[in-house]
Amino acid sequence: MDANLLLDATLLPALAIAMAAGLLSFLSPCVLPIVPPYLAYMGGVSVTEMDGTRAARRKVTLAALFFVLGLSTVFLLLGFAFSAMGRMFLQVQDWFVTGAGVVIMIFGLHFLGVFRIGFMDREVRVEAGDRGGSAFGAFLLGLAFAFGWTPCLGPILGAILGLAASEADTMRGTALLASYALGLGIPFLLVAAFFPRLKGAMGWMKRHMERIERISGVLLWTVGLMMLTGQFSDFSYWLLETFPALAQLG
């Protein structure tokens, strides 16, 4: 099999995992509960107005778009930086990937409740001042969000950064973090635009936070195991054999 096809296909499952990780970050206990008031604040409206008027939701949606641009900026820079770091350690990349896999599996066990790691249960927020109601303020809040919620997002984000570093390619590493940013950012936009219709779904998610956390743990543990055993390459062969059309994506 052509090595270039394998490299292209290897990125596909990693991109899917990165997007799923972003979605699980959105559903985490320190993000999902604060989404409606956070969006209302950024849009310069109240939660009640966001629930009842189209004009308010338009303002909130615009603010959410700039918020997502802000957090995506940080994640793209992190993806570039970590993949560049992976290139620096290319000669010891196997050891680097093994170490990252072990750390990610430990994070997964934390979320599964096998044991708890204290600093992961703490939340550090960066305040961006009184910026509600402006697009630029929403962008600044996006930057602050990406930096300030790292203790909560850290385990899942760390797994994707580990994947980016293991790629040792700045374009591919940046693409992974772009996929993560989409998984985290798109739900913000959907809630902003369709808040009244999604209130029931968000309530259900809040009631099942423990289950969502367990799913995050399984994802992290699996990613770590795949990094340790080199299963991404095997999975890529399976993808190409099962879906030959994917070879045309390269």
pLDDT digits (tens, 9 = 90+) for 112-165: 777 666 655 555 444 444 445 688 888 988 888 887 665 566 677 877 887 787
Asked whether the beta carbons of 153 and 25 are under 8 A apart, the reply is yes
Pick from 179-183, 211-215, 223-227: least confident: 223-227
Domain span at 98:
3-249
Asked whether the beta carbons of 27 and 103 are under 8 A apart, the reply is no
User: Amino acid letter at 25?
Assistant: S
Asked whether the beta carbons of 81 and 173 are under 8 A apart, the reply is no
- 63-73: average pLDDT: 93
Q: Is the pTM of this model over 0.85?
A: no
How much is the pLDDT for 151?
Answer: 58
Which pairs with CB-CB distance under 8 Å and at least 24 residues apart come from 51-56?
A: 51/195, 51/196, 51/199, 52/196
Q: How many domains does the chain have?
A: 1
How much is the pLDDT for 186?
Answer: 95
